[in-house]
Amino acid sequence: MSSALEADFVIIGSGSAGSAMAYRLSEDGKHSVIVIEYGGTDAGPLIQMPSALSIPMNMARYDWGFSSEPEPHLGGRSLVTPRGKVIGGSSSINGMVYVRGHARDFDHWAEQGATGWGYANVLPYFKRMEHSHGGEEGWRGTRGPLHVQRGTRVNPLYTAFVEAGKQAGFELTDDYNGSKQEGFGPMEQTIFQGRRWSAANAYLRPALKRKNVRLIKGFARRVMVENQRATGVEIEARGQVQMVKARHEVIIAASSINSPKILMLSGIGPAEHLRENGVNVIADRPGVGQNLQDHLELYIQQESTKPVTLNSVLNPYSKALIGARWLFFKSGLGTTNHFEAAAFVRSRAGVDYPDIQYHFIPGAVRYDGRSAAKSHGFQAHVGPMRSKSRGSVTLRSSDPREKPSIRFNYMSHPEDWADFRHCIRLTRDIFGQTAFDPYRGEEISPGSHVQSDADLDEFIRNNVESAFHPCGTCRMGRKDDPNAVVDPECRVIGVEGLRLADSSIFPRITNGNLNGPSIMTGEKASDHILGRTPLPPSNQEPWINPRWQVSDR
């Protein structure tokens, strides 16, 4: 057993939260940090070139390869659940869309027992982490490690989408991450100087330049607990089982799928479930693995009568040219994720903040890179933000190598169906505005013949896809809440010297993509771990639509 495998803080996972914590916990030079990561390097164009985003997400080299159990409300379909197995975790394989979440999301967290995580408390951490290029003055950070930019939006279809939203009566917003989330406007990206600006590039690489930070490649099997205190992590590395010792604390940041799995394998979780799987119970926490949430989305696709879309560059020759231009000059279409226009809107009167998200892309193509249109086309990814459906992550056995059982229970709440039908009809309304008159051809998907509730439901059942935002499986709450897993300082309840900080602690899913809130979680958790007074709360008031009680727009 190597004595070098010891540090003050041992972090499991080099993803969004893990990388941020490695950077902050080692910043003052007083503490040593070891980061355990099973995945390999994130070097190379497949990860670093933004427009190649659909490739690493589908590669066993970079992805854990999880998928859901057959989903009973989706005709038994099993949906893929990509999680990054690489330096930078899921921030190295995600769509690079940057969304903080809405102010009310975090206020809801605080109401649910995550005291100190209201919007006033988290806003200073979002500012600390950001280096915003073009965001709203006074609301955004400008000196943080995480570069956030807008796309060039040269394609005329981006402008048409935003203008169509305005014509349909919706708000416009120039910065949905500023004071006003609601409306149509530019989408933000974690891209810098033409490269994917992952948590690895923003946080981990700078941290690893310090003498007090080490990255160890290994498979985390379980947390070692002695007398109700975490003492280290059992890992498998180079065919041997080894112990990485933590002098102060072990911190789990292994994703909303792997974090609850590691807790349960360590004896922390629903006691009966642990016993059934032959795991000794150290702390009976029934909430571990429960409360699983995600965002679902549909692609609404329309033919374009003008050859201005990305469908013209999906051929091998064009792709080679784009790749070469990116490789040599870090310019051109290779430098964007193509999500450059967005919208957050409310579904109906009486909803006080947005509950529908749009990503717009000037092409008709799937996440897996397959072209959907025979001709030119454009599409909106649309989905509700706050489904009431909940799922779980459970063990199949006590074998750490066995993948956990993931059940999302997608579309299990009746409101989900009404919400999605509304999303489809609303998108048709937007695509039907005069701004799209110069471009609009036939509807590709669902197709103009799909009109009745029953037909729309059939389309939803067969085509709805995960937006890859799983979270909530180790919910943060009050210490006396039997279903909470961590307290508001990210301490695992019932075990000393053990914290957990990643998207699994979210009490409820936030609006939009989860990379931003996950990094913020790592930032804020770092201050708690170091025993620092949290950053002073903000007194800035976010914009809420004055017409919210009477209109959806």
What would the mean pLDDT of 381-394 be, rounded to a whole number?
Answer: 98
95 annotated as belonging to a binding site for a ligand: yes
Q: Does the annotation list 33 as a binding residue?
A: yes
Domains of the chain by residue range: 1-101+197-293+390-406+469-531, 152-186+296-384+412-463
Assign a CATH topology to domain 152-186+296-384+412-463.
Answer: Cholesterol Oxidase; domain 2 (3.30.410)
Structure tokens at 529: 């771990």
pLDDT tens digits, 487-504: 999 999 999 999 999 999
pLDDT in tens, 90-119: 999 999 999 999 999 999 999 999 999 999
What is the per-residue pLDDT across 292-330, written as a single tens digit (0 to 9) for each? 999 999 999 999 999 999 988 888 999 999 999 999 999
Beta pairing partners, 341: 186, 360
Per residue in 410-460, pLDDT tens? Answer: 999 999 999 999 999 999 999 999 999 999 999 999 999 999 999 999 999
Model pLDDT, residue 58:
86
pLDDT at 4: 65
Residue 373 has pLDDT above 70, yes or no: no
* 32 annotated as a binding-site residue: yes
Give counts: helices (H), strands (E), the chain. Answer: 13, 25
Average model confidence (pLDDT) across the chain? 96
Give the pLDDT of residue 149: 98
Whether the predicted pLDDT of 527 surpasses 80: yes
Residue by residue, DSSP assigns 429-493 as HHHTSGGGTTTEEEEEES-TT--SHHHHHHHHHHH-EE-S--B-TT-B--TT-TT-SB-TT-BBT
Q: Is 14 annotated as a binding residue?
A: yes
Query: CB 433: neighbour CB atoms within 10 A?
Result: 18
Domains 1-101+197-293+390-406+469-531 and 152-186+296-384+412-463 share a fold: no
Asked whether 197 and 146 are in contact (CB, 8 A), the reply is yes
CA dist 444 and 386 (Å) reads: 27
**Residue 21 marked in a binding site:** yes
Q: What confidence score (pLDDT) does residue 314 get?
A: 85
Strand order in the sheet with 130-132: 130-132, 146-150, 188-189
Active-site residue 381, yes or no?
Answer: no
> Looking at the predicted structure, is the pLDDT value of residue 482 above 80?
yes
Average of pLDDT values for 358-362?
97
SS (H, E, C) 61-99: CCECCEECCCEHHHCCECCEECCECECCHHHHCCCCECC
- pLDDT (tens digit, 9 = 90+) per residue, 15-33? 999 999 999 999 999 999 9
Q: Is 233 annotated as a binding residue?
A: no
What pLDDT, on the 0 to 100 scale, is given for residue 514? Answer: 98
Rounded CA gap, 375 and 417, in Å? Answer: 31
322-335 pLDDT, tens digit per residue, is 999 999 999 999 99
pLDDT band at 1 (very low <50, low <70, confident <90, very high): very low
Active-site annotation holder among 147, 449, 469, 528: 469
Q: What CATH architecture applies to the domain 1-101+197-293+390-406+469-531?
A: 3-Layer(bba) Sandwich (3.50)
Contact criterion met (CB below 8 Å) for 524 and 253: no
What pLDDT is stored for residue 411 in this prediction?
A: 98
pLDDT digits (tens, 9 = 90+) for 231-264: 999 999 999 999 999 999 999 999 999 999 999 9
Average pLDDT over residues 531-545: 98
Tell me the DSSP string of 298-356: EEEEEEESSS-SGGGG-SHHHHHHHHHHHHHHS-GGGG--S--EEEEE-SSTT--S--E
The answer to whether the bond into 446 is cis (omega within 30° of 0) is yes
Which pLDDT belongs to residue 375? 80
List helix spans (H) across 174-254.
Answer: 199, 205-208
Mean pLDDT, residues 344-369: 91
